[in-house]
């Protein structure tokens, strides 16, 4: 059991960062390559300055996801993603304003974002761990 614990201490943070980062890297890339469609979707939610917001979204998702994956300034990346997810979750996954299957679908998305935010809090507190470009620890 002790060997498994040692392996998890060493490799767990890397695996966790990879699992957290992949959704943001892929999502940021899709938004970058599907710029016009994403702008339309954002506009349908009543957002102003969609081009500026989309550029910032791609920066946070793609940039933050890559930083998190590499473990470089992972605390900063996790903080940016965590803060980004607050308005995104409330605006795009407002299950309380829907009914039927769409309500259920958005509730799942809302809960998924809460779980991701929990992972980001973990990185914010404990840093990037082993196998990272900058091993940050709480002072």
Q: Please write the tens of the pLDDT for every residue from 24-55.
A: 999 999 999 999 999 999 999 999 999 999 99
Let me know if residue 81 belongs to a domain.
yes
pTM of the model: 0.90
What is the per-residue pLDDT for 99? 95
Q: Inform me whether the pLDDT recorded for 137 exceeds 70.
A: no
The 3-class secondary structure across 100-122, one letter per residue, is: HHHHHHHHHHHHHHHHHHHHHHH
Q: Inform me whether the pLDDT recorded for 135 exceeds 80.
A: no
Let me know if residue 1 belongs to a domain.
no
In sequence order, the 6+-apart residues with CB closer than 8 A to the CB of 56 are none
What is the per-residue pLDDT for 4? 86
Give the mean pLDDT of 108-125.
Answer: 97
Q: Between 133 and 96, where is the model more confident?
A: 96
For residue 32, the surrounding DSSP H or E stretch is helix 2-33
Let me know if residue 103 belongs to a domain.
yes
Let me know if residue 135 belongs to a domain.
no
How many folded domains does the chain comprise? Answer: 1
Do 98 and 106 form a contact (C-beta atoms < 8 A)?
A: yes
Let me know if residue 3 belongs to a domain.
no
Let me know if residue 64 belongs to a domain.
yes
Let me know if residue 2 belongs to a domain.
no
CB atoms within 10 A of CB 93: 20
Let me know if residue 5 belongs to a domain.
no
The span from the CA of 49 to the CA of 35, in Å, is 14
CB atoms within 10 A of CB 54: 19
Q: Give the domain extent around 40.
A: 13-126
Q: Inform me whether the pLDDT recorded for 122 exceeds 90.
A: yes
Nearest CA among 78, 128, 77, 88 for reference residue 112: 88
What is the per-residue pLDDT for 138? 54
């Amino acid at each position: 059991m002790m060997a498994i614990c040692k392996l998890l201490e060493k490799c767990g943070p890397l695996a966790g960062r990879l699992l957290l980062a992949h959704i943001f890297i892929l999502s940021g890339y899709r938004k970058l390559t599907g710029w016009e469609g994403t702008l339309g979707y954002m506009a349908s939610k009543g957002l102003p300055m969609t081009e500026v917001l989309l550029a910032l979204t791609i920066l946070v998702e793609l940039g933050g996801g890559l930083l998190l994956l590499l473990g470089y300034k992972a605390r900063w990346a996790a903080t940016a993603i965590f803060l980004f997810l607050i308005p995104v979750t409330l605006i795009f996954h407002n299950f309380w304003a829907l009914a039927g299957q769409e309500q259920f679908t958005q509730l799942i998305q809302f809960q998924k974002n809460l779980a991701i935010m929990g992972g980001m809090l973990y990185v914010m507190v404990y840093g990037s761990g082993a196998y990272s470009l900058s091993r940050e620890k709480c002072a």
